[in-house]
Amino acid sequence: MRLENKVALITGASSGIGAATALLFAQEGARIVVVDINDQAGQAIVQEIKEGGGEAVFFHADVSKAADCENMIRYAEAQYGALHILFNNAGIMHGDDGDAMSTSEAIFDLTYAINVKGVFFGCKYGIPALARAGGGSIINTASFVAHLGAATPQLAYTASKGAVLSMSRELAVIHARENIRVNALSPGPLRTELLMSFLDTDEKKQRRLVHVPMGRFGEAKEMAQAVLFLASDESSYMTGSEFLVDGGITAAYVTPE
């Protein structure tokens, strides 16, 4: 198993990429700390892992709050004795996030609090834990929109993911000699509740999908496979990098309808 004897903490783990990754990591031998604000859904993931023969615990945390992030790291070490993998995945894409004129300051601040400060707090408290374990892997969820303007305006989200990408690079450089690797996962458009609720009409979905050369939305399970590579020793010489798993959207100039 690729993650045998590893402890992994995953934020936003009750649904989407986080849930798929938690289930896959458990199958690969990791002990999982499932972190989310949705207690019921988070506990359901823990139960599913246990029913599959894996080991997992749930911790309630709002990643926009420093104390919650500090406590989730402490909990992971208290439960399992160490932390080797940190997947800062929690994020939002608010329905009221639009262009510069229509997006309110409150929505912009909320998006940054979760998508950017959540990654910052995770790393702030998680990096010392990984150092105590002798090193490890951090994966931060960015997005293809860190490279491309979104066809459907989502300014705060797009800006937040650019921040995650640049923050990941700098953290990787700072901590490379400590055997701590930091990489970013940049998914393309996915068929997850997060995006589907934002693209809430067929017109919006098609406006996004027409740009994807593969002609379909990605699946959370496909992203989980990419995260597994970044978490495992198979990517041992990879840090400060971005893993674009986007159906070809960032490679395309124009795509026929």
Catalytic residue numbers?
A: 157
Question: What 3-state class would DSSP assign to 33?
Answer: strand
Q: How far apart are CA 14 and CA 85, in angstroms?
A: 17
- Sort 76 into a burial class: Cβ within 10 Å, 0-12 / 13-18 / 19+: buried
CA 218 to chain centre: 15
Q: How far apart are CA 59 and CA 9, in angstroms?
A: 10
CB contact set of 144 (below 8 Å; sequence gap of 6+) = 186, 187, 188, 189, 244, 246, 249, 250
Contact assessment for residue 208 and residue 224, using Cβ atoms and an 8 Å cutoff: no
Q: How far apart are CA 23 and CA 222, in angstroms?
A: 13
Contact assessment for residue 28 and residue 82, using Cβ atoms and an 8 Å cutoff: no
Contact assessment for residue 45 and residue 19, using Cβ atoms and an 8 Å cutoff: yes
